[in-house]
Structures are given as C-alpha cells and as structure tokens.
Amino acid sequence: MLTVHHLNESRSQRILWLLEELGTPYDLKIYARNAQTRLAPPELAAIHPLGKSPVITDGDVVVIETGAIIDYIIRRHAGGRLQPDPATADYDLYMQWLHYAEGSAMLPLMLNMYVGRLKEAGAPLHPRIESEIANHLGFINGALKGRQFFVGETLTGADIAMSFVAEVARAQRKLADYPLFDAWLDRMHARPAWKVALEKGGPYALGQ
Ligand SMILES: N[C@@H](CCC(=O)N[C@@H](CS)C(=O)NCC(=O)O)C(=O)O
C-alpha cells in the first residue's frame, strides 16, 4: 500500500490531490510543522534523511521530490492515466512542466519569502527577485493562453505539479497581473478531488 507522509501546509498537498483524482487507495500519515520554525518534525527524517515532504513509501521503496513522486504514482499505480502518451510531443511538454515547477519556477518565490524575513537588510535583492518572479509568471501565464490545462485538453500531472507555484504566488499577492494563471488556479480549486484532498490534508495558509 502506498503511504503519503504529509506535512501540513506543504507541497505534499499536491500528492493527495493526485491520488484523489486517480481514485488510488493510499494511507495518509500527517506530520505537523514546528509552530515557531515551520520546519518538519524529526519523525519525517526517519522516513528519508532529508526530512522533507512530500515523501512516499511503497513497500520498501521510498520516493522523494514532487515531480518524481507524480511520475512514480502515475506509472506504477495508475497505468499512465493523467499523463500524455509517451510517444507524443505532448509528453515532452508534460515533462517540461513536471520539472519546471520545482526546478525553476519555485526558486524566486522561495527567495522572496526568505529574503523578506531580512526586512530592510534584504532590500538590495528585491529588484532582481521581483524581475525573476515576473519573468516566470509571465511565461506561465502566456503558456495558458487559449488553454484550460497546461498540456492537452484534460488534467495531467503537469497541472498538479504547477499548482504549488500558483498557491505560493497567490499567497505572495503576485497573481493579479497574471489573470490566466489566476483563473486556472480557481478552476483547479473547483475540482471535487481538490476539495477532498484539502479536507484530508488540511488547508494551505502560505502567507509569508
Ligand atoms: N523540491 C522539493 C521540496 C521539498 C520541500 O522543501 N518541502 C518542504 C514543504 S513545502 C518541507 O518539507 N519543509 C520542511 C522542512 O524543511 O523542514 C519537492 O517538491 O519535493
């Protein structure tokens, strides 16, 4: 049985959403962040030495990293549902979004969060951080022109991977200038599986 080791208010919410969309059975273990530091509790490091979430276990197999987990679940537990046919160009685009979400898009948003904690001391870094955020959100918004989903005509793991980017951008009040990405997030929030995943994993409260 697949087990999702879920940290409250975190990226692992995406994995719950994926599993609810697929209707794949899973066990859920919830870990609570330290209220002061927001770090994961030490019990998570017993699952994987990084002590981060998401992490899944499947028998003896331990998988970390959102994109790899989405790929693993879709290949091993879903018969390839929620991804394009690997022989198609859509699959190449799908892989791009799966890697891009954490590999590129999250970096300036995370920098904004951490540098924001420096208050005035961080001021010299903000112009560069803001221009990088605008670069990425502009690219993402443009990619959604004329589309309901990131790839093809239906939901894929790419939408699931990209959801945390949208959540954090919205929490940082960055989405107003990117209406296609903003509206896409509203559409994802309206999905029944999203709502079930939120009930199980608990709401996001990602303010800085
Ligand atoms: N790129 C990784 C990031 C994992 C990550 O940093 N997770 C955060 C939650 S959003 C975490 O576990 N933070 C708690 C900690 O660092 O102690 C992924 O997407 O899986």
Name the DSSP letter for residue 125: G
pLDDT, the chain, mean = 96
Instruction: Report CA 19 to chain centroid distance, whole Å.
Output: 14
Output the CA 50–ligand 1 centroid distance in Å: 9
Q: What percentage of residues in the chain have a pLDDT greater than 90?
A: 97
Q: Under a CB-based contact definition with an 8 Å cutoff, are residues 136 and 111 in contact?
A: no
Task: State residue 203's pLDDT score.
Answer: 78
Radius of gyration of the chain (CA): 17
Report residue 30: phi and psi, to 5°. Answer: -100, 135
Q: Which residues partner with 6 through β-bridges?
A: 30
Task: State residue 67's pLDDT score.
Answer: 98
Burial-class residue 164 by CB neighbours within 10 Å (0-12, 13-18, 19+): buried
Output the CA 183–ligand 1 centroid distance in Å: 26
The answer to whether the pTM exceeds 0.85 is yes
The C-alpha atoms of residue 90 and residue 77 are separated, in whole angstroms, by: 21
Query: Which of the listed residues 11, 64, 106 should we mutate to test ligand 1's pocket, taking the one with most ligand atoms within 8 A of CB?
Result: 11
Q: Where are the alpha helices (DSSP H) in 58-178?
A: 66-77, 89-100, 106-116, 126-143, 157-171
Query: CB of 66 closer than 6 A to ligand 1?
Result: yes
Q: Whose CA is nearest to atom 19 of ligand 1?
A: 66
pLDDT higher than 90, residue 198: yes
Q: Under a CB-based contact definition with an 8 Å cutoff, are residues 74 and 17 in contact?
A: no
Task: State residue 155's pLDDT score.
Answer: 98
| Tens-place pLDDT, residues 67-115 | 999 999 999 999 999 999 999 999 999 999 999 999 999 999 999 999 9
Output the CA 40–ligand 1 centroid distance in Å: 9
C-alpha angle 111-113-119 in degrees, rounded to nearest 5: 100
Query: CB of 182 closer than 6 A to ligand 1?
Result: no
Query: CB of 65 closer than 6 A to ligand 1?
Result: yes
In this prediction, residue 208 has a pLDDT band, given cuts at 50, 70 and 90, of: very low
Query: CB of 156 closer than 6 A to ligand 1?
Result: no
CATH among 3.40.30.10, 2.40.128.20, 3.40.50.720, 3.40.309.10 for 2-82+194-201: 3.40.30.10
CATH among 3.30.390.30, 1.25.40.10, 1.20.1050.10, 3.40.50.12780 for 89-191: 1.20.1050.10
Output the CA 121–ligand 1 centroid distance in Å: 25
Q: How would DSSP label each residue in 10-28?
A: STTHHHHHHHHHHT---EE
Q: Under a CB-based contact definition with an 8 Å cutoff, are residues 12 and 54 in contact?
A: yes
Domain boundaries, the chain: 2-82+194-201, 89-191
In this prediction, residue 133 has a pLDDT band, given cuts at 50, 70 and 90, of: very high
Query: CB of 52 closer than 6 A to ligand 1?
Result: yes
pLDDT higher than 50, residue 207: no
Average pLDDT over residues 54-68: 98
Q: Under a CB-based contact definition with an 8 Å cutoff, are residues 181 and 163 in contact?
A: no
Instruction: Give the residue, 208 or 201, on which the prediction is more confident.
Output: 201
